Structures are given as C-alpha cells and as structure tokens.
Amino acid sequence: MLRYVIKRLLELIPTTAGVLLLTFALFHVLGGSPAEVVLGKNASAESMARFDAKYGYDKPLLAGWWAPSRALNQRSTATDDGTVPLSFPLNAGEWRLRGSNIGKITVELRNSSGGERQTVTIESNSGEVRFTIPVGFVADRVTLADYSGALELSRRTAHWFDSQLCHFLYGLARGDLGVSTDLDRPVAAVLREGVGPSLALTVPILICGTLLAMMFGLWCAWRRDGTADRILLTVSTLLMSVNYVIWVLAGQFLLAYKLRLFPIWGFENWTYLVLPIIIGVVSGLGRDIRFCRTAILDEVAKPYVRTALAKGLSEPQVMVRHVLRNSLIPIVTYVSLSVPFLFTGSLLLESFFGIPGLGSVSLNAINSNDMAVVRAVVIIGALSYQAVNVLADLSYAWLDPRVRLR
C-alpha cells in the first residue's frame, strides 16, 4: 500500500503542473491586463508599467529573453521627424527595437540624478537594433533615420527563466503564493481569512447531507416499492426540480425576513450559518437520496443478502451491517467529488448571505482580474481534489478486503 501511495503522490506533480500551465495560459489570453482592470484603462502607461513591475507582470508569461514594454504601444510607428513615441523614459538595462528594416538609431541619454546628457548612435541594417542604457541614466528620446514602419520595443530579462511562471513556482516552493493586486496583501493571508467561514459553512452541509441521504436511501431500499419508498422518491424529485437560487430566495424571504428566525446577512457568529446550512442541505438532498438508494439497491439484489437472511439475521441487521457497508464504495466516490466544494465554498450561498469565504474571495478575484488569488485557489482546489482521490482509493481497500491497490 505504501508503494501505491508514493506512486499516486508522484502523479500529483505532472497533473498539478498541467493545471498551473493551463491556468496561466487561459488568464493571459482571456483575462486581459491586471493593470488596466485595477488602475483603469485611462491610466497612464507609466503608472501601469510601475504596477506591472511591482507585481511581476512585466516579465514573460512562461519563459523568454525579452518582455514587451509599455513605453511604446505595440506596432506603433515613428513620427514624421523619426522620433519614437515613448510614453515615458526608458530605465537602465538592455533594450530591443524591432521593425522591418531599421537603419541608424540615435538614443539620447540623461543622467537620472542630474542634467548630464549623452547621445549614442547605432547603425543597423537588420530588422532589429539593441542598445544598452547604463545604470544611472534614462533614455527620454529615441530617433530613427528614414523609417516609417511599425515598431516593437522590448526589454531584456535577467535570464531565460525570468518569467511570471518561474517566479510563481519559486515562491510556491517557499510557501509564498504572491501578493493580491486588488487588496495589496499576501495571497496566503487572504485565503486564510476565507478558509474558516467556508469550512464552517460547507463541512456541516457535506456531513449532514451525506448522513441524511444515507439514512433515507437505506430506508427507501428497505421499504422498496412500498408507500414510504414512493413518497420519499416523490419528495426527492420535487427537491431536485427546484432551482438552487429559488431555495436561497425562498429561505431568506420566508424564514429570515418574514418569520425572523435567522439573520439574513453577515457573519458574526454561528447563528448566521444556520439558514445557509439548511438551504445547502435541502437543495442537494433529493439528488443525494436517489444516488444512495440506487447504490444500496444494487447490493440488496446480491446472493449474500439472501444467504444472511436464510441464516436467521433480521432484515435491519442485514441492511445496516452488510448491505450498507458494501454500498459505501460508490457513496465514498460520490462524496469525494464534492470535496473541492469544501475549499472553494458555496459561491451563491456566500454571495447571498454575505459570508466572507473562499467563494466570495474567488468571485472578487475573477471580477478584479486578481490572477495571483485565482491561481492560488485553482492550485489548492486541484491538489485537494487529487489528495482526496488518493484517500478515496485507500478507503476502498479498507471497506472491501478484495480490493487490491497496485
């Protein structure tokens, strides 16, 4: 079994790496610029460049030697007198200007602490020209000779792995999940504050919902095709037919607003969680009952049940001691699929009831394009989901000695 556990834990590495790469790529393509979301599209290019430098978004996404600069809008052209339209002065470092066929380039340098100025002229007959700005100087004017095509300006990185992904992996190895661009706080601190409310909400929902579903499913299987079975199946179907939002709105209006039985908004003490937990359990109970009933009925039809009854065991003893135990494998699988729900929280419940859990944190991060928080939530969800799958496989061997783990 130890060999199996080590094997499964090693499998977490490529799977998590794939999830991380996919997350980086998707948010880079679809998420847009975090600087524009936080500062607004009307913010100056210099302020957005400072924002990118502060949070590491001025580096290549995955890897590379060059990173585009906001000092020049991509695919911009030189003015009539050959001046490159820089949005702000270029700092010290190595720069690359690319075009179709750049000739002579002139870079005017200014001492950042005084008025000393220098001029550097570079001849080029290729599609790019590289120039270096010494430490202590900035370049506030770049001109080209007889050139009117599109231009691209990039800054050289420290090394090929000086990228957003590599810096995130390095921080992750040190336990650093980065800094939230929306809250300007460490991501770990933001998630720690959200874990408590989310688990306080979702753990009771999962435990109560699972126990009630197993109890009613066992009762339905015991009284199969009877009146009680038909009534419970009808009620389960009705519970499944009501939309989740309807449960939330009806519970808030009737139980919290009209009857004043529960608080309607906030998270000050445990009483604020009672109504969301009730709604969470009831909204999923119908689906859970039908699943547990089906899993238990599959065991009821097997020969060992008839053998146990023929030996003189009562039907309740057979149902609880034998049938329920053997039907736990599909139930454990079903419950394990809900585990990511424990860490990301119930998004609708937290939003409607004002509970500051991971669901609310994730939603706010998506709306504000806070990629550091979103990446952390995705990674935690992926790791927890895989870890629970390993625990579920181990529980199979414990529940059924015939199961062999290899």
pLDDT at 303: 85
pLDDT at 342: 66
Looking at the predicted structure, is the pLDDT value of residue 31 above 70? Answer: no
pLDDT at 343: 60
**152, 191: one domain:** no
Q: How confident is the model at residue 276 (pLDDT cuts 50, 70, 90)?
A: very high
In a domain, 55, yes or no: no
**239, 146: one domain:** no
As given in the structure block, the two tokens for residue 121 are: 């002229």
Q: How confident is the model at residue 150 (pLDDT cuts 50, 70, 90)?
A: confident
pLDDT at 184: 85
Q: Tokens 């500051």 — which residue?
A: 356
In a domain, 8, yes or no: no
In a domain, 304, yes or no: yes
Q: How confident is the model at residue 172 (pLDDT cuts 50, 70, 90)?
A: confident
Looking at the predicted structure, is the pLDDT value of residue 146 above 80? Answer: no
Q: Where residue 111 sits, what CATH number does that domain have?
A: 2.60.120
Q: How confident is the model at residue 386 (pLDDT cuts 50, 70, 90)?
A: confident
| DSSP of 11-54 | HHHHHHHHHHHHHHHHHHHHS--HHHHHH-TTS-HHHHHHHHHH
pLDDT at 278: 93
In a domain, 108, yes or no: yes
Q: Where residue 193 sits, what CATH number does that domain have?
A: 1.10.3720.10
pLDDT at 282: 92
In a domain, 39, yes or no: no
Q: How confident is the model at residue 151 (pLDDT cuts 50, 70, 90)?
A: confident
In a domain, 29, yes or no: no
CA–CA dist 47, 53 (Å, integer): 10
**235, 374: one domain:** yes
pLDDT digits (tens, 9 = 90+) for 72-109: 886 677 777 778 888 888 988 999 988 877 778 888 88
Distances (CA, A) of 314 to 6, 196, 224, 318, 347: 43, 44, 16, 6, 45
Give percent of the chain with pLDDT exceeding 70: 95
Looking at the predicted structure, is the pLDDT value of residue 297 above 80? Answer: yes
Q: Name the domain boundary from 112, 137, 156.
A: 156
Looking at the predicted structure, is the pLDDT value of residue 154 above 70? Answer: yes
pLDDT at 148: 66
pLDDT at 212: 93
Domain residues for the domain of 141 are 66-156
Averaged pLDDT score across all residues of the chain: 85
Q: Name the domain boundary from 156, 178, 202.
A: 156
Q: Name the domain boundary from 104, 139, 156.
A: 156
Helix axis angle, 328-336 to 371-399, nearest 10°: 170
- φ, ψ for residue 132, nearest 5 deg: -115, 135
**148, 276: one domain:** no
**288, 193: one domain:** yes
CA–CA dist 265, 259 (Å, integer): 15
pLDDT at 75: 66
**130, 207: one domain:** no
**96, 193: one domain:** no
What average pLDDT score do residues 283-311 get?
87
In a domain, 52, yes or no: no
In a domain, 405, yes or no: no
**260, 357: one domain:** yes
Structural domains of the chain, count:
2
Q: Tokens 């921080």 — which residue?
A: 171
pLDDT digits (tens, 9 = 90+) for 339-377: 766 665 577 888 889 888 888 888 888 888 788 888 888
What average pLDDT score do residues 188-213 get?
90
**310, 263: one domain:** yes
pLDDT digits (tens, 9 = 90+) for 312-323: 888 888 888 888
**381, 261: one domain:** yes
Decide: 63 and 166 in contact? Cβ < 8 Å.
yes
Q: How confident is the model at residue 228 (pLDDT cuts 50, 70, 90)?
A: confident
**262, 146: one domain:** no
| Residues near 36 by beta carbon (within 8 Å), at least 6 away in sequence | 43, 48
- Considering only 115-124, 159-168, 272-281, 348-357, which range has the smallest mean pLDDT? 115-124
**243, 374: one domain:** yes
What average pLDDT score do residues 47-57 get?
89
